[in-house]
Amino acid sequence: MLRAAILCASALAFLPAAEELIKPANVPLNTWVREDLFAGLMANDADTFEHGVRKLDVYLQDHPDDPSALAWKNLVVAYRMRQALAAGDDAVYRRLLSTAKELRQKTFASYPQDPAYRDGRELLNKVPGLQKDYFEHLPPHMRGELWSQIAFASDRLGDTAERDRVIAEMLAKLQGSPYETRARHWQKLATLKNEGDYTCLSCHEPARLASVMAKK
């Protein structure tokens, strides 16, 4: 009887850790996994990165075709490909490369890329007009991220004239900010192939995981 009680207590001790991997209903997936996965990418924090991978895998078990989850999984594979290259492990790299290709095909199977970029750019271009009374007074982060998305979508659509126009606007109106640096970098590129160049330059505290969880 005592042994059974000890075993039960030991099993219960693991329940909070397991439960922690399940995304709360009121927390967006991006918020749920972003900081853990970025810890590996930006700070080389392997333990936190793997925690994010486990959370993502639990979510994918119930949502195997979710395009956002598949996109995050592709990021995980890309990170491990980089590790394989650094370790000189060609076999692992080739295997992960094949996995990445399958993930991309699955991600965009039901979401054609070009229509998504066209629709997204059209909506984003409406924002300055809808906020015309105060748009030019918004912080550089808000305007910079909006213009970055429009420029990136335009590049993917082959609309280089619109891409270059938006980059020029960033240079003129976001001087002294990280977005001026981004715009100058983009000016030198024929195409914006590296999606890593497009990641958000900062995260607002209200959108961080701890802040969202505190509101539960």
Confidence label for 5 from pLDDT (cuts 50, 70 and 90): very low
What's the whole-model pTM score? 0.53
CA atoms within 13 A on the CB side of 18: 5
Confidence label for 179 from pLDDT (cuts 50, 70 and 90): very high
Residue ranges of domains in the chain: 20-107, 113-198
Confidence label for 16 from pLDDT (cuts 50, 70 and 90): very low
- Tokens for 49? 């990165």
Mean pLDDT of 48-55: 95
Q: Is the per-residue pLDDT at 107 higher than 70? A: yes
Mean pLDDT of 117-137: 87
pLDDT at 180: 94
pLDDT at 95: 95
In the chain, pLDDT over 90 holds for what percent of residues?
39
Distant-in-sequence contacts of 65-69, Cβ < 8 A, 24+ apart: 65/106, 65/110, 66/29, 67/107, 67/108, 67/110, 67/111, 68/29, 68/30, 69/29
**Which comes out higher in pLDDT, residue 10 or 141?**
141
- Name the DSSP letter for residue 24: P
